[in-house]
Chains A and B, each alone.
Chain A
Amino acid sequence: MTYMTQTLTEPRAGLAARLKLALAIFALLAVVPPLAHAMGEPFMIIIATRMMVFAIAALSLDLILGHGAMVSFGHAAYLGFGSYAVAILSRAGISDLVLQMVAAVLASALFALVTGAISLRTRGVYFIMITLAFGQMAYFFFVSFSALGGDDGVALAARSTVLGLPLLQGETGLFYVTLGLLIAAFAGLYLLTRSRFGRVLTGTRESALRMQAIGFRPLPYQLTAYVISAAICGVAGVLLANQAVYVSPAYMSWHRSGEMIVMLVLGGVGSLTGAMTGALVTVALEEGLARFSEHWRLGFGLILVLVALLSPGGLSGLLRKFNLLRDDK
């Protein structure tokens, strides 16, 4: 899987600058609810929550796609596992968010462990196809799950409780819980990608042959990253179900998986901040453009083409170009 070109992946320098960008994004997000209330536009909070949910999902994908050069085309399956963990457990009377997250993480990790162990035997385009196939298997499983609405999905009776408290009932509560988890996901992945483990993972992206020639066997590291990535995406699924108060197989269709890759490419792969920015911007554009016109996809397509032409490194590559993302040396 070494076909990922260098222009697509960011050099490992510039870490401190990226950290600053991330902090700025978190600070901006933190003032969204009061701002939305002041402007009399509470709908903004809902949109921002969706933006952050997909930012968590995109961050998780960036671990394997950006840092591991494992282009998974089935990552939306884990959004589904997370969502259905909420639907199934709340139907069984377990409405606590923490328990639902544990279930989502376990289910996602298990599915990733099994399908990853098989998928990672392949390379390049075959890996893309096999992850797509596993993702679609999960999708069709829930489509045929008639007890939970099948194709139509199922509405939740209520949002999850947090240790017995109705923290998520209001949009603002859900917003801040999501923001907290976004920050946690970013911080965790930031540390992980710089750790010994992350070094082996990115090293394998750069050259698997080189890593083997110094004594590593890449597979266990790649599989571990694959499982961690799935688990984080499962958490995003739990939040997505709570945000919509509704769960549907549509969350895990291959369109969604493709959209997640688009978010990464738009933001710039392999830098975490790029994934986060890409997801925030994509969802914001979707919502924003959809208001202007039914043909918003056309506008979004144009923006993608422009970014691809102007900056192969995505939005964060664009920032670098204009010297906005440089390390203070």
Chain B
Amino acid sequence: MTDALLQVRNLRKTYGALKVTNDVSLDVHEGEIHAIIGPNGAGKTTLISQLSGQLRPDSGTVIYTGQDITALDMAARVRMGLARSFQLTTLLPSFTVLENVAVAVQAREGSSFRFFRPASTERALNDQAMECLNDVGLSGTASRLAGALSHGEKRQLELAIALATRPRLLLLDEPLAGTGHEEAAQLVDLFGRLKSRVTMMLIEHDMNAVFALADRVSVLVYGEIAACGTPDAVRNDAKVRAAYLGEEEVA
């Protein structure tokens, strides 16, 4: 049996008295879409931040491709193919859409200690960036300023940037939040297509998307994993229904 691509072991993080990550252990296997669901404030974003290196856990380990990466910073993890998207859109607003993506390509293609040649004329960067924009359906807006995009377009761009890092494991923090029906459908379709090349951990409140895409679902409640299993198993778990899904199903 091969080890999981990502192994999280006994992760803990507290803010004062709040146990925001409480002894979380989980595995993400190569090739799967592993959804994390849970009510607002359950600690989903905080968990992703610890996995991506933005936040240090108080204790516990994160193992990725068999290596202990708990002490590595975000940049090192991204270079190993562990990328994330942000729930709160994090863009370079005065850069064009294309530049936002091209700079992510630049990060993995050659040195950035180059001082004279205009970066915007580098075909290799622009072409790869354009491909990522095509993937998310944003190629029509390439030359607009990122700050001038609609909310839904910003969410799409957020994803294109993450893809441009060539991730092996992509941590997606509510990628559908704030997108319109059509954009959301387009993105769900994209995740389905990406599945053959990228492993994904998907945090999402849109249950239709979760149950359509996920191979496994973990439920996070008050910083703890309350349940983990196939979508059907989780859907029928009494504890989960009480804690979380009940209200969704009724609504």
The residue that B92 contacts in the complex, of A13, A197, A206, A217, with Cβ under 8 A, is A206
CB neighbours of B39 from chain A (8 A): none
Query: In the bound complex, how far is the Cα of B118 from the Cα of A199, in angstroms?
Result: 9
B150 proximal to A (CB < 8 A)? no
B92 near A203 (CB under 8 angstroms)? Answer: yes
Whole-angstrom distance between the Cβ of B53 and the nearest chain A Cβ: 8
Given contacts A6-B147, A203-B95, A221-B112, contact A196 B117 (CB under 8 A): yes
The answer to whether A191 and B94 have CB atoms under 8 Å apart is no
Q: Is A191 a contact partner of B118 (Cβ separation < 8 A)?
A: yes
Which residues of chain B are near A6, meaning CB under 8 Å? 93-94, 147
The complex places the Cα of A192 from the Cα of B114 at a distance, in Å, of 8
Total contacting residues, chain B, CB less than 8 A? 40
- Chain B residues 30-89 with CB under 8 Å of chain A are 52, 54, 73-75, 78-79, 83-84, 86
Contacts of A144 in B (CB 8 A): none
- Are B115 and A199 in contact (CB-based, < 8 A)? no
A125 within 8 A of B: no
Which chain A positions have C-beta within 8 A of B107?
Answer: 214-216
Contact with B along A178-194 (1 / 0, CB 8 A): 00000000000001101
Task: For the complex, give the distance between the alpha carbons of A197 and B122 in Å.
Answer: 13
Q: A12 at the A/B interface (Cβ < 8 Å)?
A: yes
Q: In the bound complex, how far is the Cα of B146 from the Cα of A11, in angstroms?
A: 10
Minimum CB–CB distance from A52 to chain B (whole Å) comes to: 24
Q: Does B26 contact A (CB under 8 A)?
A: no
| B120 located at the interface, meaning its Cβ lies under 8 Å from any Cβ of chain A in the complex | yes
Question: Using a Cβ–Cβ cut-off of 8 Å, how many residues does chain A contribute to the interface with B?
Answer: 30
Task: List residues of A (137-196) whose CB comes within 8 Å of B's CBs.
Answer: 191-192, 194-196
A207 at the interface (CB under 8 A from B): yes
Interface secondary structure of A, over-half rule: helix
B108 sits at the interface (CB 8 A): yes
Residue A209 at the chain B interface, CB threshold 8 Å: yes
B130 lies within 8 A of chain A by Cβ = no
| Contact present for B54 and A194 (CB under 8 Å) | no
**Distance from B147 Cβ to chain A, minimum over Cβ atoms (Å):** 7
**What sequence of 0s and 1s flags, for each residue 204-248 of chain B, a beta carbon within 8 Å of any chain A beta carbon?**
000000000000000000000000000000000000000000000
Residues in B neighbouring A192, C-beta threshold 8 A: 115-116
Q: Is B103 an interface residue (CB 8 A)?
A: yes
The answer to whether B145 and A13 have CB atoms under 8 Å apart is yes
Q: Which residues of the partner chain A approach B112 to less than 8 Å between Cβ atoms?
A: 196-197, 199-200, 216, 221
How far apart sit A209 and B165, CA to CA, in the bound complex (Å)?
Answer: 15
0/1 interface trace, chain B 171-195, chain A, CB 8 Å (1 if under)? 0000000000000000000000000
Q: Residues of B contacting A211 with CB < 8 Å? A: 103
Q: A217 — which chain B residues lie within 8 A by C-beta? A: 73, 75
30 contacts between A and B (CB under 8 A): A6-B93, A6-B147, A11-B94, A11-B147, A12-B94, A12-B96, A13-B96, A191-B118, A194-B118, A194-B119, A195-B118, A196-B106, A196-B112, A196-B113, A197-B112, A199-B106, A203-B103, A206-B92, A206-B93, A209-B90, A210-B92, A210-B161, A212-B54, A213-B52, A213-B78, A213-B90, A214-B103, A214-B104, A214-B164, A216-B107
Closest 10 CB pairs of A and B: A215-B78, A206-B92, A214-B104, A215-B107, A196-B114, A212-B74, A194-B118, A196-B119, A196-B112, A199-B119
